[in-house]
Amino acid sequence: MKICYVFDEFIENKRLIAKESTIANYHTMFINHFPFWNEDITEATEEEVRKHLLSLKDRLADKTRYDIITLINGFFAFAFSKGYINQKVNFPTPKLCKKKVIIFNESEAKRVAHYILDNFSCINLSAILALFLGVRIGEICALQWRDFNFKNGTINIENTLQRIKDLDNSNSKTKKTKIVITSPKTPSSLREIPLPDFLLAYFKKYAGKPEWYILTANTKYMEPRTLQKHYRDLLNIVDVDYRKFHALRHTFATQSNHKGMDVKTLQEILGHENISFTLAQYVHPDLTLKREQINNIYTDIKAV
């Protein structure tokens, strides 16, 4: 049986547990990075596949290779379980090093904060939600005013918006995509975030109709790549070096931790499944804080 047919069966099985966006990512990775697509599954030898995966080392990031190899291992495990191959196949994944995230320093964060609070626009609401509450870009694009509970002073994160490959129109020449609005990436991402008093008053002042998306002030959403462009323009206006939009979320997490927010609370506001991930990936003490903390240990000691 051809590998493409086995992969279709593998994908259909994955649909039982995976989101549509995940399925689309699997499909894209497999087509783009597994050249044995049209071969019979018994003809693609383990050595050939191993050589191909090794060739990816010079042109793809470790994280990308990790995802590809993990998918291929899962595919071959499925093929073995179905009897399409007669032996287990498993390829080693690269060891991933923690990627350093460049966040906004305190001065930059204040500059951005003052500007977006003093210059209202639907677009600036996105930076407010990311910098002051750590909301993800896809979650922001999916937000409607109905998600704000002004009586309780909270915001409910229940959806995320993203553009994915349209597998119903998967002709590789047309490369059709579509927008999907689904529940967030994990159950923990479904969350209710309390609004600080100053933001509660701010959002009340500018709130629109319940069915309006907050970034457009109408019933038509804005997609993340459009928001990214507006965000880049914002940083140019305030004369702050470009960081990825996600850096706003990391900046929120780091500042919250520095100012005493307990890690469990921070984890739940960010929508993470566990505390260890929050600490390992989202808290970035800078040199100033490290110096302050180490000096605090020795406040009672003086040099002779």
Give the tens place of pLDDT for each residue, 141-180: 999 999 999 999 999 999 999 998 887 765 544 568 899 9
Q: Are residues 146 and 260 in the same domain?
A: yes
**pLDDT at res. 199:** 93
Q: Is 92 within the bounds of a domain?
A: no
Q: What is the CATH number of the domain that holds 137?
A: 1.10.443.10
Name the domain count of the chain: 2
Q: Are residues 247 and 125 in the same domain?
A: yes
Domain of residue 149: give its range.
106-290
Alpha-carbon distance of 222 to 212, in angstroms, equals 11
Residues contacting residue 146 through CB under 8 Å, at least 6 positions apart: 210, 211
Mean predicted lDDT score pLDDT of the chain? 89
Q: Are residues 23 and 138 in the same domain?
A: no
pLDDT digits (tens, 9 = 90+) for 106-148: 899 999 999 999 999 988 999 999 999 999 999 999 999 999 9
Q: Is it the case that residue 78 has pLDDT exceeding 80?
A: yes
Percentage of the chain beyond pLDDT 70 is: 95
